[in-house]
Structure 1
Amino acid sequence: MIKSLEFLHIFFAIVWIGGMVYSLLFLKPSLKELPNEDQRHRLLRSVFSKFFPAVWLSILVLFITGMGLWHGYRRDFSENPLFHTKLFLFALMILVFTYIYFFLFRKNKLSHIPNLILVNLLFGIFILLIITYIS
């Protein structure tokens, strides 16, 4: 059971963080090759409309599996300040994504999204560093 929770936790973290890496390092530079703004906007909207439901699912699975791992397997995390930092950063990532989704994506302000994706990617990388040191 614990291994299944760990697998799901890691897999959905990869989905979210990998999607951010893809978006910033591959999609955004490639959009510049499209000749007009309308094409770039349509492609970006199409990609995000497929990726963002995966992010919502990732948030849900990460929360559920994280709570399962914490309470059923690693109760000692409660005493570790790095673990609390990780939870705080995860909460910030959720807040940033909520802003991206409801205030930028749904209102078609797509040009501002990459900057906030970068913020979330940095939070995600920091969480990975923390996990490396507390496990």
Structure 2
Amino acid sequence: MSIRREPMILGCADGRHPRRTIPREVSVIDLKPACTAMTSVLAHDGESQLDARTRCTEFAVRDLIDHVAAVAHGFSALARAEADATTMLTTAELRGAWLATVAEHVRDLGAAWDDRAAWPGTSTGGGVELANEVWGRIALTGVT
């Protein structure tokens, strides 16, 4: 994953229009309320419910928690421009009170995207370059 945080640059390569940097406002979304709601769900989920089916019958509760764990871990690293943003974390890798560990990662996700520095610029993940504003919105959908 490569991460570039820079203002928008306008201009032409042929020199007819000088290149100039345009500072731009970025949309910042507060992910903390969604993260708080998700940690509440994780706190009420018991080990006995992990193999229960969800409304999407091909997925068990465990599968959805795996997804939340991966989103929280990866998108927290992305917000901080950390190299390990592509490392996926699954519940199989967590030991002990793993639901509490996933909840900790979810809280960290909210904190990471609370930093205004996470929102401007672009990042490339999975071979796709997107504005960090878009990555932040994707992170939000991962915990809602």
- Name whichever structure is richer in strand by fraction: 2
Settle same-fold status: TM greater than 0.5: no
Normalised TM-score (structure 2): 0.39
Q: If the length of structure 1 is used for normalisation, what is the TM-score?
A: 0.41
